[in-house]
Amino acid sequence: MSKVVGGKCARRFGGVARGRGNGNTTGKARLAGESMASEAIVLDEEGLSRTADRMLPSGGRLRGLRMLSGGASQETWFFELVEAGDGPVHRLVLRRAPGGCYQHATAAGLEVEAAVIRIVGRNGIPVPTVRYVLEHGDGIGRGFVTDHVDGETIARKILRDDAFARVRPTLPAAFGSLLARIHAVPKGELPQLRLTGAAATLNILRNEVRRLDMPRPVFEVAIRWLEDHMLDDREPALVHGDFRLGNLIIDGHGVAAVLDWELVHLGDPMEDIAWLCATPWRFGAVDKPVGGLGTREDLFASYEAAGGAIDRARLRWWDVSSALRWGVNCAAMVAQYRDGTDTSLERAMIARRASENEVDLMRLLYLGD
């Protein structure tokens, strides 16, 4: 039985590369709150090969299997299927639970994720076509196979490389119309998803803050602000949950695909808008709130032109909760570093970035932005 070793989870933390790249050169952390194993990651190539005729009607010979990234919450593998007699080559991607089976509590689940991708695809959102959802009998874990989509996901490259100079100014508006379309996907078509509005989000954050070892007065001030400005319930919409550079494939024309639907849920659409504009996702370009690319005005105008409605008061609540969410994720890494879950230097250094989020929260709460 041949198995392909993809690398060690811990070593690959932070590596999010699809399309190109070797998956370990970006310093930006994946959204965490996720646990990870340090063992070598292994995928049974023969097991994957046996599912080929369910991925494509023609079936095909598997070749070139390699790991693109071993994210904390999902593994991504690239491979090709060659049709019989050296026929057409299909480039495919397997997204799988780490080690085949681990799943974080807030993740929708890979089968649900695949179902959502198919539905939003039918509603005009650019996503990779889902070819096959792994079944228990396949014996290679939980996950799904999609077509490979060419383009770039690494934020640093999208923000700085000349190849994206022409497309960069168009992205904030593209994000706005895409988000409006995601938020308008008819709920009747969707599988059952967790419902997490403002109140549930605050409960999660409060519990996580209280679990931290270090006292964090700034986080406590943020919790109080969120309590004092609690939002009322609205009719929930489909929320992507992690819409930002790093999770979008960008090519020379714009957004080629929206990836990483693992945190998909029903909730307040303003959550996605705020998360996209959160300071960590500006990648150093703090004066460009939309992903380090442009202005909120461009984003809001295109969101509303595509049928969405921006609610600034609600957005502000989600701005604060987004900063706190990322801060709590960083701070929680101290425990993961110490208990041996991930003893990498990178993890230690990301844990020390919780102070950045305290600065962001202080700015939001006392200076407006």
User: Can you give the binding site for another protein, defined by CB under 8 A?
Assistant: 11, 22, 24-25, 27, 215-221, 223-225, 279, 282, 284-287, 345-346, 348-349, 352-353, 355-356, 358-360, 362-363, 365-367
Residue at token pair 């007065």: 217
Nearest approach, Cβ of 140 to another protein (angstroms)?
26
Which lies closer to another protein via its Cβ, residue 20 or residue 224? 224
* Residue 292 contacts residue 283 (beta carbons within 8 Å): yes
Which lies closer to another protein via its Cβ, residue 50 or residue 363? 363
The residue type of 192 is Q
The rounded Cα 342 to chain-centroid distance in angstroms is 20
Residue at token pair 């695909």: 257
Which lies closer to another protein via its Cβ, residue 227 or residue 339? 227
Nearest approach, Cβ of 218 to another protein (angstroms)?
6
Instruction: Give CA–CA dist 236/217, Å, rounded.
Output: 32
Nearest approach, Cβ of 315 to another protein (angstroms)?
19
Nearest approach, Cβ of 358 to another protein (angstroms)?
5
Nearest approach, Cβ of 277 to another protein (angstroms)?
13
How far is CA 200 from each of CA 16, 68, 224, 235, rounded to the nearest angstrom? 29, 34, 15, 15
Which lies closer to another protein via its Cβ, residue 162 or residue 287? 287
Q: Which residues of 43-74 are buried (b: 16+ CB within 10 A; e: fewer)?
A: bbbebbbebbeebbeebbebeebebbbbbbbb
How far is CA 98 from each of CA 39, 74, 93, 130, 137, rounded to the nearest angstrom? 10, 5, 15, 19, 18
Which lies closer to another protein via its Cβ, residue 286 or residue 305? 286
Nearest approach, Cβ of 354 to another protein (angstroms)?
8
Nearest approach, Cβ of 236 to another protein (angstroms)?
29
Determine how many CB atoms are found less than 10 A away from the CB of residue 339: 10
Instruction: Give CA–CA dist 229/257, Å, rounded.
Output: 35
Nearest approach, Cβ of 157 to another protein (angstroms)?
14
Which lies closer to another protein via its Cβ, residue 27 or residue 124? 27
Instruction: Give CA–CA dist 26/30, Å, rounded.
Output: 10
Which lies closer to another protein via its Cβ, residue 201 or residue 357? 357
339 Cβ partners below 8 Å, 6+ apart?
Answer: none
Which lies closer to another protein via its Cβ, residue 37 or residue 285? 285
Nearest approach, Cβ of 285 to another protein (angstroms)?
7
Instruction: Give CA–CA dist 306/178, Å, rounded.
Output: 8
Which lies closer to another protein via its Cβ, residue 228 or residue 235? 228
* Residue 147 contacts residue 91 (beta carbons within 8 Å): yes
The rounded Cα 86 to chain-centroid distance in angstroms is 36
